[in-house]
């Protein structure tokens, strides 16, 4: 497909509530072998969505800075609205239509995507670009909402587990336009269906998650599955990132800024080592926000952009893998976003 020139012209984010310290969890934690696994070493802090706060609430808050920078009419310009929500507030429908109503937007294309997981921001960039290539659409809003840390990982049984302190909640959004102001240089998305059955959501009993009864739902881990996921993640993120580098004719070590999802510190270290990048060119928000799943890339991009650390004209490379490794994606952008 011959793609039109599409730019990631701006990013913004929102973090709910006050930071939650790690000792919230340590008071409940129980001694277990899993707690010693490097996959579950806790960040310093994280944010939790309030019980009555929704993914759409977070997205609306994240959109406010974009409206301030691009004008009150921005919502009316949105032709494409694509959302990814880690924990849908309404299992029957996605967040897109309600968010459009709240913003006062009337997009011609509204999509709610789920399978992109932690790589959903890149996945949504790809989908928006494809729609622009086959329609008259010129402006897209992509939204990644991570909202399962507060509702799921603070349940009375789940908060005792080793993985409970790692996730945090937040929302990151991107504004795309059909122009060359901050061009997307390349996108690579790959699906690995052979790994799709390795991620389980369980109530730790026979009950289906939608059925009444005892048991608290959470993603379940075994040590053997953790080992497999760790090996895949170590490989997949650099693999798709270096594929993009090859397509745009640069070496991994020459990338100006590398932004990934952030499951833990070990992944982050291994990924920039694989690209031969110094740690300072691989920023993250892990200690402040924990594992933000799909929101990790846009939240970190927004933090770096607001701090003035993303130089216009520089190459920003994004890469992530999803779930147990069934999806991975990377994208490179010639940065030029507003601050």
Q: Tokens 């977070």, residue?
A: 58
Long-range contacts made by residues 61-68, C-beta under 8 angstroms, separation at least 24?
61/14, 61/171, 62/12, 62/13, 62/14, 62/143, 62/171, 62/172, 62/173, 63/12, 63/103, 63/141, 63/173, 64/12, 65/12, 66/10, 66/12, 66/173, 66/175
- Residue 166: which of 282, 37, 62 has the closest Cα? 37
pLDDT digits (tens, 9 = 90+) for 200-231: 888 888 898 889 998 998 887 666 778 888 89
CA distance 292 to 42: 13
Average pLDDT of span 274-283: 98
Q: What is the DSSP letter of 92?
A: T
User: For the chain, what is the radius of gyration of the CA atoms?
Assistant: 19
CA–CA distance from 187 to each of 163, 165, 245 (Å)?
A: 31, 32, 10
pLDDT digits (tens, 9 = 90+) for 23-61: 999 888 765 655 556 667 889 999 999 999 999 999 999
CA distance 271 to 337: 25
- Helix orientation angle between 265-274 and 223-248, rounded to the nearest 10 degrees: 30
Helix %, strand %, coil % for the chain, to 5? Answer: 40, 20, 40
SS3 43: coil
CA distance 233 to 145: 22
Write a three-state SS string for 285-298: CHHHHCECHHHHHH
pLDDT digits (tens, 9 = 90+) for 71-129: 999 999 999 999 999 999 988 888 999 999 999 999 999 999 988 999 999 999 999 99
CA distance 163 to 147: 16
Residue 71: φ, ψ to 5°? 105, 155
pLDDT digits (tens, 9 = 90+) for 239-268: 999 999 999 999 999 999 999 999 999 999
- The pLDDT of residue 41 is 81
Q: Read off the pLDDT band of 339 (50, 70, 90).
A: low
Query: Which helix (H) or strand (E) element contains residue 244?
Result: helix 223-248
- For residue 235 the two structure tokens come to 């490989």
CA distance 164 to 130: 37
For the entire predicted model, the pTM comes to 0.95
């Amino acid at each position: 497909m011959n793609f039109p020139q599409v730019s990631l012209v701006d990013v913004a984010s929102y973090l709910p509530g006050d930071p939650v310290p790690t000792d919230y969890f340590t008071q409940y934690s129980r001694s277990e072998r899993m707690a010693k696994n490097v996959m579950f070493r806790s960040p310093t802090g994280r944010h939790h969505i309030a019980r009555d706060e929704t993914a759409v609430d977070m997205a609306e808050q994240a959109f406010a800075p974009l409206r301030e920078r691009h004008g009150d009419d921005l919502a009316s310009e949105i032709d494409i609205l694509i959302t990814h929500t880690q924990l849908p507030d309404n299992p029957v429908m996605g967040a897109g239509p309600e968010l459009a109503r709240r913003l006062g937007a009337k997009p011609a294309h509204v999509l709610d995507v789920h399978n992109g997981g932690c790589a959903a921001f890149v996945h949504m960039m790809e989908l928006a670009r494809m729609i622009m290539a086959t329609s008259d659409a010129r402006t897209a809003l992509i939204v990644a909402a991570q909202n399962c840390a507060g509702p799921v990982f603070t349940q009375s049984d789940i908060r005792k587990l080793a993985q409970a302190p790692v996730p945090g909640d937040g929302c990151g959004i991107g504004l795309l336009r059909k122009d060359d102001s901050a061009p997307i240089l390349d996108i690579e998305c790959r699906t690995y269906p052979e790994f799709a059955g390795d991620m389980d959501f369980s109530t730790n009993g026979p009950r289906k998650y939608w059925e009444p009864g005892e048991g608290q739902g959470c993603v379940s881990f075994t040590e053997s599955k953790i080992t497999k996921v760790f090996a895949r993640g170590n490989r997949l993120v650099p693999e798709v990132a270096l594929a993009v580098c090859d397509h745009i004719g640069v070496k991994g070590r020459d990338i100006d800024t590398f932004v990934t999802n952030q499951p833990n510190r070990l992944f982050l270290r291994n990924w920039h080592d694989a690209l031969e990048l110094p740690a300072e060119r691989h920023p993250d928000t892990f200690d402040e926000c924990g594992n933000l799943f799909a929101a990790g890339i846009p939240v970190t991009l927004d933090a770096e952009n607001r701090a003035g650390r993303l130089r216009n004209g520089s190459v920003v490379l994004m890469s992530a893998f999803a779930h147990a490794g069934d999806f991975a994606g990377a994208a490179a952008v010639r940065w030029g976003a507003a601050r």
